[in-house]
Amino acid sequence: MEVEAYLDENDPASHAYRGKTKRNEVMFLKGGHLYVYFTYGMHFCSNIVTEDEGKGRAVLLRAIEPIEGIDKMKKNRKIKITGTTNPEDKKSIKELANGPAKLCQAFELARKENGTDLLGNEIYISDGGAEINSTIITTTRIGITTGVEKKWRYYIKGNSFVSKK
């Protein structure tokens, strides 16, 4: 999986850069909440709030490797997926969630999921017993125009299920 960290007053690329507003208020909740925002007039992106209440820091979910519920994800996404499991193939299941807005579509995350407490039963995270000894790569973040130099993008080394290499 691939994530990016967004901080607060020292991170111009973060929604929390200018303090708490109606849009980003969820970022200032206690860690463990889900921050879903609408952008480009058509897309949603999800973050997991980190740290203490009032901090305004979160981690953007940019990509995941589909393992279970692949049929459900195919249904949620409205594109042709050939069904191949080889991430090197075009139109493989990699396309299900190799981008922040794609991930939201696949998981059906939208406006109403904003502010969900991930410690509850509705939406939650489990480790699934997946890769534990993997190496994490650090690179610069993607799709932003300010704070570009910060290397706060993280993903599993060698894993092809990312939005960009």
Partner DNA sequence: CCACGGATTGGCT
Partner DNA sequence: GCCAATCCGTGGA
Output the CA torsion sign for 78, 128, 115, 24: negative
How far apart are CB 106 and DNA at their closest, in Å?
Answer: 10
- The residues facing 153 across adjacent strands are 4, 139
Total site size for DNA, rule CB under 7 A? 38
Assess 93 for contact with DNA (CB under 7 A).
no
Residues 6+ apart with CB under 8 A from 30: 49, 52, 53
Distance CA 113, CA 5 (A): 20
39 sits near DNA (criterion: CB under 7 A): yes
Stretch that binds DNA, among 66-74, 119-127, 137-145, 149-157 (CB under 7 A): 137-145
Stretch that binds DNA, among 20-28, 114-122, 130-138, 149-157 (CB under 7 A): 20-28
**Binding of residue 23 to DNA (CB under 7 A):** yes
Distance in angstroms (rounded) separating the CA atoms of residues 150 and 86 = 31
By the rule CB under 7 A, 152 interacts with DNA: no
Residue spans of beta strands (DSSP E) within 7-85: 34-39, 43-50, 57-63
Q: CA 73 → CA 84, 89, 135, 138, distances in Å?
A: 14, 18, 27, 28
Restricting to residues 53-82, name those near DNA by CB under 7 A: 58, 60, 77, 79
Q: Quote the least distance from Cβ 22 to DNA, whole Å.
A: 4
Stretch in the footprint of DNA (CB under 7 A) among 115-123, 124-132, 136-144, 150-158: 136-144
Minimum gap (Å) between residue 13 Cβ and DNA? 6
Question: By C-beta, is 65 or 95 nearer to DNA?
Answer: 95
Alpha helix locations (H) across the chain? 70-76, 100-106
Under DSSP, the state recorded for 35 is E
Q: What is the binding site for DNA (CB under 7 A)?
A: 4, 6, 13-16, 18, 21-24, 27, 35, 38-43, 45, 47, 58, 60, 77, 79, 95, 99-103, 105, 141-145, 163
